[in-house]
Chain A
Amino acid sequence: MRLAPAVLALLLGAPLLRGQEIPPRPEQLKYPPLKFEVPDAAAIRTTLSNGTPAYLIEDPALPIVDLRIIIRGGSFDEPAGKMGVADLTAELLRTGGTESRDPNAVDEEIDFLAANVAVAVEDVSGSATLSILSKDLDKGLEILMDLLRNPVFRQDKLDTLKAQTLDGLKSRNDRTSSIEAREANLIFYGPEYPLNRLATKASIESITREDLKAFHASWVHPSRFIVAAAGSFRKSELVSKLEAAFAKWPAKPAVAGPVTAPNVAHAAKPGIYCFNKEGKNITQGRVTIGHQGIDVHHPDVQAIRVMSYILGAGGFSSRLMQRVRTQEGLAYDVRSDLRPGLVYPFPFKLVFQSKNESCAYAAKLCLEEVDRIRAEGVSPEELKAAQQFYLDAFPGLFFSTKMQVAGTYAQAELLGLPKDYYVTYREKIAKLTPADIKRVAQEHLHPSKFAWVVVGNIPAIQAGDNVHPVKLADLGTVVSIPLADPFSLERMK
């Protein structure tokens, strides 16, 4: 064992860097300037010989490689009546075997190499990921590429997966949180939006290996890939390995431009939609209140981000947290969420959970805070604190590890973010004024359009108590909706 040079310096009595004083207040602390250069996306990006973009960063700190292949396309592309095929395909790409590899042998090999291999799919994109010790990178890549290129979706593995999937469907109404998430999507996006085309028992049962093969054929191809990787490798070597692997696919020109999704045409009808969950242990209600919001390409995206931070997205510092939780003790979790949608708009939401009796009162306080930020805007001090958060936290939000840098830029390409999005991110925040915040609050928060999702013991939530001087019915039109059957998603009687 030997001592690090820095430690030796300490042992010899390093000079103190600053004064011995402790200032009476933390605001009096002085900090040296912080320097952070936004990593150069162009320098990181490589175009592989087949046209696939790749963001590869050498990071020799640990003997490990993380590789993520983003695949354009996702569950929004499922054919009619085959809801669930995207998930089944992704999962069986990993576990269903290949033309030359028995699926059990694949499991054994991946586990023996201590690798993590996964294929997953979301709404408009998916991913194949590999995490492996750098000494085994070649082997890991070979397996991953075989899984993606030559899957056979073995019938017995599909049968097991379908049984697991149906078991999952059965649990759809077990948790109030699952009901809330599903019903909120229905209310904010409407039943026709692809986000709400969910798997049913009938759709899962109808899916065959042929459906999986067809989905795979239309989904997985290097022309639809964007690669991000970081770890202990030589960039030139990894480029060659990926090029060799991708060359095994028939050549196709790379798909360029951002992924897209249909427009959201639906507007929720205002009202308080209640979903009753029976059970004497359901002592807490879950409430989401909102309306349609924006996507990341909106010109006011930074102003809206900061406004939302001050109102309720800024964690403990936010107005909602201070009022509803810290001062009133009405909720553990309370927040607003006006995240810009990445591809299609995400709704603006107020979200909290409170004991049945105080749900209505907590909701009223949230609504008051919406009115207040619309009417009064924010103080210069509040704005400065929010701006300073984004300016100072910026490196940690997007670039905290080499893999996060690669992932941030790969995602930016997938979404078609402007080239200078991260370069100008901080200046756009820094130049905001209180007037900007008030303007976007008025333009983007519309109390008259609010639709509510309330899940829990609805009679108790409606009854309230004598302590909290408001009833649910005082706040809007209450509409009771039966829960959906977990298998068919038809409303139950």
Chain B
Amino acid sequence: MRALILGLLLAMPCLGQDRESGFKLPVQEFVLDNGLRVLLVERHDVPRVFCSLWWRVGSVNERPGVTGLSHFFEHMMFMGTDVIGTTDAVKDAELNAKIEKVMGKIREVKLARLEAKRRGLETPAGEDELYKILMKEYEGYVEEQKKTIVPEHLSKIFQANGGTGLNATTSYDRTNYFVELPANKVELFCWLESDRFLKPVFRSFYPERDVVKEERRMRTDSTPTGLIHEAYWSMFWQAHPYKWPVLGWMSDIDQYTLADAQRYYDTHYSAQNGTAIFVGDVQPAEIQELCRRYFGRLKRFPGERDAIVTQEPDQPAERRMEAEAESKDELSVQWHGPSAVHKDSAACDLMMSVFSGRSGRLFRPLVEDKKLALDVQSYFWSLRYGGVLNLGVAPREGADVRALEKALLEIVDDVRKNGITERELDKVRNQQMADLVRGLKTNNGIAQQLGYFETVGTYKDFFAYAKALETVTAADVKRCAEQYLKPTGRNVLVVRRKEKK
């Protein structure tokens, strides 16, 4: 481990002019020799620690054919190692090899089916027979392997030690793993996390594909507008790898192989792509020693991974999607915005806040005066490589949605032409600053803020962002509105209720 690098004590800027409103978020940082970053924030109120590990890898690092692999990999990381998840690592490895072999044959059958489908032909009868025989062999191995698998072993250990909220999430730019533990058991986190990221074993690989398919059915396929919003998102990103869903396309989930997962691990789960964040009742010297001892084991893989080079091209014309669903009517207008650490990021947050809320630009004109809408929302969602500026409206029953869209866009045009008032700026600045403070009320909330910035930049960008919120001017907001909310940059989604015949 390199000598201790940075111990930072940073103060958030004061809110408004009131000195009493200032507060501190002292973040301590150090970097291990292998490049893994560690952040900690001491909060000694309750003997609990929110422990989390953030990896700068997500669906943006995938390619067509293995979409959703980042998320699937996250599931795999709960399957264990040679120590966790099995009572007989040797036998387990033997069976895993047999499973892989027969799955290779099954994959050939599946590819033959795809080929038949491509030609518009039925699958040859012999292929179906072969498939059944191979599946039977595969199922035999899976049954055999169950005898030595300890299901949910990792979860059981964490929970039996008072771990709460154990989970992991995958997004476009990052994957995070987290649990809150009693303050005396941080070493358990270091043990289990360094073990699984050092030598994961991808067991129960194929049954878990079915779990992820169920997750996709639950979140997307079987909801009224899941598939429509997925298609809208893919239309919004023409070129960028953000365009596919984090959960992956159904056809890809069915095709992941162990080799895909191994390659993915070797490429992305290299120590310098991770940040461990501890927030709660921690002693810095102890965390430093534990991290050095445990996470110091993680490898820094040779070779750099591919940079994300694709730039979303400037949109040449408005794009629209008009859909019907068994769902509420919906109107959404969306533009591309800057990335999270872009100098315009704070201004875009303030700009979108101007549109939101009961006292914002949209609510009273659209909902109460024109009676075209029932509710409004707006947000700026910033990612590592880009951002989404969204205005959403719930049309009132029977309202002319074209007229609603027109009225909405007139309000946007007004901000582009005439900017916003100083009072509006003060209001949205107050709101954004207060929301930042509210985000720091819990151990989890602090870790989420720091982790987010660690995966779009570094945690120092959090403080830079807070500072930028203070200095944005009304002119900045007007300039951003002109630059980002262009007519040709619009993406429009209209969802109308499908009426039963």
In the complex, the answer to whether A114 meets B433 with C-beta atoms within 8 Å is yes
- Answer whether residue B116 sits at the interface, using C-beta atoms and an 8 A cutoff: no
Question: Within residues 389 to 445 of chain B, which ones have a CB less than 8 A from any CB in chain A?
Answer: 394, 396-397, 423, 426-427, 430-431, 433-435, 437-438, 440-443
CB distance from A221 to the nearest CB of B (A): 27
Question: A324 → chain B, closest Cβ, in Å?
Answer: 10
* Nearest CB of chain A from residue B326's CB, rounded to whole Å: 5
Contact A63 B20, CB 8 Å, known A17-B285, A355-B217, A389-B159: yes
List the count of A-B residue pairs having beta carbons below 8 Å apart: 279
Task: Report the minimal beta-carbon distance from A68 to chain B, rounded to whole angstroms.
Answer: 14
Stretch at the interface among B187-195, B237-245, B310-318: B187-195
CA distance A6 to B23 in the complex (A): 19
CB-based contact A10/B7 at 8 Å: yes
| B427 interface neighbour in A16, A61, A95, A112, Cβ under 8 Å | A112
- B367 part of interface (Cβ distance < 8 Å): yes
Which residues of B sit under 8 angstroms from A1, Cβ to Cβ?
Answer: 8-10
Q: Contact at A3–B7, with CB atoms within 8 Å?
A: yes
Total interface residues on A, CB under 8 Å, equals 102
| Cβ contacts under 8 Å, B218 to chain A | 284, 332-333, 353
Complex contact B430–A31 (CB within 8 A): no
Is A6 within 8 A of B151, CB to CB? no
- Which residues of chain A are near B396, meaning CB under 8 Å? 163, 167
Closest CB of chain B to A439's CB: distance in Å? 23
A164 contacts B83, CB within 8 Å? no
Contact pattern, A 342-377, Cβ under 8 Å of B = 1, otherwise 0: 000000000001110000000000000000000000
Question: Which of B166, B210, B368 interacts with A316 by CB under 8 Å?
Answer: B166
B266 located at the interface, meaning its Cβ lies under 8 Å from any Cβ of chain A in the complex? no
Given contact pairs A176-B222, A327-B146, A327-B207, A164 touches B374 in the complex (Cβ within 8 A): yes
Are B357 and A63 neighbours in the complex by a CB distance under 8 Å? no
Judge whether A396 and B180 touch: CB under 8 Å. yes
Question: Once the chains bind, are A4 and B7 in contact (CB under 8 Å)?
Answer: yes
* Nearest Cβ on chain A to B500's Cβ, whole angstroms: 9
Q: Which residues of B sit under 8 angstroms from A331, Cβ to Cβ? A: 211, 214
Which stretch, A42-50, A129-137, A266-274, A414-422, touches the partner chain B? A129-137
Q: Is A263 an interface residue when CB atoms closer than 8 A count as contact? A: no
| A423 on interface, CB distance cutoff 8 Å | no
> CB-nearest residue of chain A relative to B432?
A114
Find residues 458-497 in chain B having any chain A CB closer than 8 Å to their own CB.
497
Contact across chains for B28 and A6 when beta carbons are under 8 A apart:
yes
Q: Given the complex of chains A and B, what is the CA–CA distance between A174 and B497 in angstroms?
A: 10
Whether A262 sits at the interface, judged by CB under 8 Å, is: no
> Would you give the shortest CB distance from B10 to chain A, in whole angstroms?
7
A396 to B48, alpha carbons, bound, how many Å? Answer: 7
With contact pairs A11-B7, A167-B394, A317-B156 given, residues A156 and B162 touching in the complex (Cβ less than 8 Å): no
Does B214 lie within 8 Å of A395, measured CB to CB? no
Chain A residues with CB below 8 A from B9, complex form: 1-4, 7
- Do B227 and A330 touch across chains, with their CB atoms under 8 A apart? no
Within 8 A of A (CB), among B208-228: 208-215, 217-218, 221-224, 226-227
Query: Contact between B222 and A282 (Cβ–Cβ < 8 Å)?
Result: yes
19 CB-based A-B contacts, threshold 8 Å: A6-B284, A18-B289, A62-B440, A107-B358, A111-B358, A133-B15, A134-B21, A135-B16, A163-B396, A175-B224, A284-B217, A322-B152, A326-B152, A329-B207, A353-B217, A354-B214, A391-B162, A393-B162, A400-B46
- Which of B28, B161, B212, B441 touches A7 (beta carbons < 8 Å)? B28
Are the C-beta atoms of A332 and B215 separated by less than 8 Å? yes
Among B46, B283, B394, which residue has the most Cβ atoms of chain A within 10 A?
Answer: B46
At the interface, yes or no: A315 with Cβ under 8 Å from chain B?
yes
Please measure, in the bound complex, the distance between the C-alpha atom of A56 and the C-alpha atom of B437, giving whole angstroms: 20
Query: Taking A114-B433, A317-B160 as contacts, is the C-beta distance between A171 and B328 under 8 angstroms?
Result: yes
Flag whether A34 is at the interface (Cβ < 8 A).
yes
How far apart sit A284 and B397, CA to CA, in the bound complex (Å)? Answer: 30
Interface flag for A205 (CB, 8 Å): no
The CA-CA distance from A316 to B78 in the complex, in Å, is 10
Chain B residues contacting A389 (CB-CB under 8 Å) are 159-163
Q: Do A316 and B155 have beta carbons less than 8 Å apart?
A: yes
Contact mask for chain B residues 168-185; partner A; CB cutoff 8 A; 1 contact, 0 none:
000000000000101111
Report if A250 contacts B (CB, 8 A).
Answer: no
Contact A332 B211 (CB under 8 A): yes
Do B161 and A388 have beta carbons less than 8 Å apart?
yes
> Is A20's beta carbon under 8 Å from chain B?
yes
CB interface residues, B 121-164, toward A, < 8 Å: 146, 149, 151-152, 155-157, 159-164
On whether the beta carbons of A395 and B437 are closer than 8 Å, the reply is no
Q: Tell me whether B28 and A4 are in contact (CB under 8 A).
A: yes
- In the bound complex, what is the Cα–Cα distance between A339 and B204 (angstroms)? 31
- Complex CA gap A11/B46 in Å reads 27
Given the interface pairs A4-B28, A10-B285, the reply to whether A113 lies near B430 with Cβ below 8 Å is: yes
Q: Assess whether A328 is interfacial by the CB under 8 Å rule.
A: yes
User: Which of B211, B214, B437 has the largest count of A CB atoms less than 10 A from its CB?
Assistant: B214
**Bound complex: CA of A384 vs CA of B156, how far in Å?**
11
Instruction: Mark interface residues in A103-131 (1 if CB within 8 Å of B CB, else 0).
Output: 01001101111110000000000000001
Given contacts A111-B427, A330-B210, A401-B442, contact A174 B159 (CB under 8 A): no
Known: A34-B184, A174-B326. A316 touches B152 (CB 8 A): yes
Bound together, the chains give a CA A160 to CA B374 distance in angstroms of 7
A257 within 8 A of B: no
- Chain B contacts of A396 at CB under 8 A? 46, 48, 162, 164, 180, 182
Tell whether A399 pairs with B7 under 8 Å between CB atoms, given A111-B357, A315-B155, A329-B209. no
Find out whether the CB atom of A64 lies under 8 angstroms from the CB atom of B358: no
Which of A11, A133, A322, A384 interacts with B21 by CB under 8 Å?
A: A133
Report the separation of the CA atoms of residues A23 and B78 in the bound assembly, to the nearest whole angstrom: 21
Q: Say which residue of A35, A113, A315, A388 sits within 8 Å of B47 (CB atoms).
A: A35
User: CB-CB contacts of B289-304 with A at 8 A, as 1s and 0s?
Assistant: 1000110010000000
Which single residue of chain A is at the shortest CB-CB distance from B286? A17
Is A397 located at the chain interface by the 8 A CB criterion?
Answer: yes
Whether A385 pairs with B160 at a CB distance below 8 angstroms is yes
